[in-house]
Structure formats: structure tokens, C-alpha cells
Chain A
Amino acid sequence: MKIVDVAKLLNAEIVAGDATKEKEVTCIFASDLMSDVLAFARDEDVLISGLSNPQLVRTAALLDMHCIILVRGKAATDDIISLCDKKGIACLTTKLGMYEACGLLFQKNLIPNKAKSK
């Protein structure tokens, strides 16, 4: 699914990284704990979180993800927006909660990573 369609599905606004919005994504990781993301993520392209700070973008960038989604109506700070633009990472914000956002995406066959190595 294209990032722009993910945004539509979640009724989300694309607040940064507009240039990336046509990119296809298939695999999602959701967490508010960045070390857990770093420990358990494999090759997901999207990071969903209720966290709104630059470390979210750093974590996504480190793992070569293309999109972050801020749930629960969290606003993206200026730091987040400028870092996303710099890194070419799309930043979406939605009022939906984490569970609902994940549920909607799961229904559209966006999957968790199956390649559970190590």
C-alpha cells in the first residue's frame, strides 16, 4: 500500500516527508519503547508510535524505515518535521489510537515481520 493511501485509511495528515508519500509499504512495527523497536524490528518500513520526539525519527532512520505514524492525536514537533524532511521519512499524524490504527492496517494486509531471526 502507498503511504498516501495509508494516510487516507487512518484519516491522517502527512505533516512531513511529502516527497516519500508515493512509496509502497508492506510491513509495520508498533511500539512506544524505542529500544524494543531496535531489538525486535527486522525490515519493517513503517513505525507506529504514540511517542512524539525526535528519537522516534532517529530510530526509524536507523532502521531504514520510510514512514512514521503518530497516533492518539500527538502533534509532530518542529524537530520531528525537519528531521523527517531531511531523512526523507513521511510523518503521518492521526487521532486514532494505536490499537485502532494497527487494526485498520492489519485488515488491509499490512503485516508484522515474519522473518523472526535470532
Chain B
Amino acid sequence: MSSNSVHLEFDVVGNNFVSAGSASNEVKGILKQLGIDPLVIRKIAVAMYEGEINMVIHAGGGRAIVDIFEDKIEIVLIDTGEGIEDVELAMKEGYSTASESIRNLGFGAGMGLPNMKRFSDKFELESEVGKGTTIKMSMLFPE
């Protein structure tokens, strides 16, 4: 695509609820500086945040790789957690395996993956039980 792209990589620390969300927050700040439409930024920030939180909660952490092009953003979330057995089920609104203690933190609505899909122009999820999960999302910048 375009040559002047921004490349970012983040380590997402597992089970740390203080740092959780800092990567998506940083990306949001950069998109703001780039003058991207606020509504588009919001979609991107929400989708990446949900993915980040999922790695924190369900996968013991992972990595987020972000590439910002002139016309779009690509976000890859990679973890080596326990994986998702039934992806179709996990994608359903309201489905969650979050524990009671995690629910008490305000997670476990089962809305994270559906939110990510809804806010992406392209969404791919690959997961293998015992190996981990990789999610690729991309969002287009209008015009």
C-alpha cells in the first residue's frame, strides 16, 4: 500500500489489570495525532481494547502488532494461551467463560469478540486449543 506507514509492537501483560488497555490507548493517541476521523478512531480503539483485554484475561498475555497505512490500520493480536475450542460459539453475543472473580471486575458480558467483529472492516480469528489464538483486524479510513 502506502510507504509512510507506522509500525508499532506492544507486549500485553497477562492478568495485569492496571496496564491492561494501555496499548490500545497509545494507538488511539497516535491516530488522533494523524487526524483520523474521531468515529473511526473510536471503533479502532474499542476493537483493539477488547482484544487486548481478552489476551490479558483469557490467554495470559500476548503481543499486539499494529500497522498504520495511509488508508487503513491493521491490528494483529497474537497469544500462546489455551486457545478457543468453539470459535463460532465464542463469537456469539453473551457467551463467556469468564470466572466469577473476572466478572466482578466488569468483564464477562460476552460482548468482546462480537464488538471486535462489528467494529472491523475485516476480521479473522484463528485458534488452536493448547497453542493459542491469532486475531487479525483491519479498519479502513474513509476517503
Q: Produce 1/0 per residue, A74-116, CB < 8 A to B.
A: 0000010000000000000000000000000000000000000
- Number of contacting residues on A, CB 8 A? 21
Interface status of A4 (Cβ within 8 A of chain B): no
CA distance A54 to B109 in the complex (A): 18
Prevailing SS type, chain A contact patch: helix
Chain B residues lying within 8 Å of A34, measured Cβ to Cβ, are: 106-107, 109
Using A54-B18, A61-B25 as known contacts, say yes or no to A38 and B105 having CB atoms under 8 A apart.
no
Interchain CB contact under 8 A, A32 and B115: no
Interface status of B50 (Cβ within 8 A of chain A): yes
Interface set, chain B 108-140, CB cutoff 8 A to A: 108-112, 114-115, 118
Prevailing SS type, chain B contact patch: helix
Interchain CB contact under 8 A, B18 and A38: no
CA distance A54 to B53 in the complex (A): 12
Interface status of B46 (Cβ within 8 A of chain A): yes
Chain B residues lying within 8 Å of A38, measured Cβ to Cβ, are: 46, 49-50, 111, 115
Interchain CB contact under 8 A, A55 and B115: no
Q: Which residue of A lies closest to B56 (CB)?
A: A55
Q: Which residues of A contact B (CB under 8 A)?
A: 32-36, 38-39, 49, 51, 53-56, 58-59, 61-64, 79, 118
Q: Which residues of B contact A (CB under 8 A)?
A: 17-18, 20-21, 24-25, 28, 38, 42, 45-46, 49-50, 53, 105-112, 114-115, 118
Q: Which 8 A-B pairs have the closest CB atoms?
A: A35-B111, A58-B21, A35-B109, A33-B109, A34-B106, A51-B106, A38-B46, A39-B111
